[in-house]
Amino acid sequence: MNSTPKHKAENLSFLVTDEVGMRLDVFLSDKLKQKGVSRADVQRLITEDNVKINGISKKKNYSVAAGDRISVFLNLKKASETLPENIPLDIVFEDEHIIVLNKSKGMVVHPAPGNYTGTLVSALMYHTDSLSDIGNNDRPGIVHRLDKDTSGLMVVAKSNKAYTDLIRQFSNHEVKRIYHAVVEGLLSLDEGVISTPIGRDPNDRIKFKSGVDNSKKAVTEYKVVEYLKGHTHIEVRLQTGRTHQIRVHMASIGHVVYGDKLYGPRKKSKSIISGQCLHSKELCFYHPFTKEYMRFNSKLPDYFIEVLKYFGKMEE
């Protein structure tokens, strides 16, 4: 199952009139959306020097000015061709409609700028010819995602019926998702709820932040599993599923997820693991065809156990 290229290579040109002050990537995303070009695609075009403003290269956050002539060499064929790759998968359940698996730490779920190979999607395409073709053609079967360095349980849709029903369950907050994490510091409460809305950080488009403009509702429940030396092992339940939600919410109360370089302080002692110590441990949902309530629970992975042993139980 190969996704087809979005379009042939072509040269395009746009003149800025009423869009003065708009970010370059936003401007082009609007102009190119009818061609099926995403904002991520636009940013890649800019990074790869396929966009010129009055003949000069600019960064994606450049504010366009009246009279700017923006030329684009639109060639996304290579990035839009997602190919099967023989990558081992840790599958815990599979039938004709769904696959439930443990995603390994360090694996990107779907192709994105800088990560076009070695993805979960490529591994799934090698494993089976049956993946839902609803939605983005670079993300067959994907109904939710985990960050690259977050490990654990995911469900994938093989049939279109499964895709539609699982999306509905996620949208209606019917899917139960429980994570385990190690965070920095000792939490003052044994359990709590963080309910500050989350939106994209206006000063850093890669990050998300609590309480910014255009934020969306986000609710995270947590409880302490064990106090460690200078750290806390917690269980987290998501009521909503915003991007980076656990990482953002824990950072917002001063307890960054251990190993999280994106939301941790810039000057930080070296972590014993790569990326955040965060694992999707439990996943529950209704089977999209049989309507059976399905519960899956995974063991904590080796890297997580290593962190727990490294810090050790807090002395009484």
Mind telling me the catalytic residues?
147
Query: What is d(CA 77, CA 138) in angstroms, rounded to the nearest whole number?
Result: 12
Structural element, H or E, at residue 88: none
Within 10 A of 150 (CB to CB), how many other CB atoms are there? 25
Specify the pairing of strand 278-286 against strand 151-157. Answer: parallel
Up-side HSE of residue 261: CA atoms within 13 Å toward CB?
9
Cβ(303)–Cβ(105) below 8 Å: yes
Residues 99, 94: Cα–Cα separation, whole Å:
4
Chain centroid to CA 168 = 19
**With 0-12 CB in 10 A as exposed, 13-18 as middle and 19+ as buried, what is 26?**
middle
Residues 6+ apart with CB under 8 A from 75: 9, 10, 50
Strands (E), 158-245: 176-184, 191-194, 198-200, 208-210, 220-227, 231-238
Hey, how many other C-beta atoms are within 10 angstroms of the C-beta on 300?
17
Q: Tell which residue, 142, 159, 77, has the closest CA to residue 108.
A: 142
Tokens representing residue 168 in the block: 């509905």
Report the distance separating Cα 73 and Cα 116, nearest Å: 20
Structure tokens at 160: 């279109």
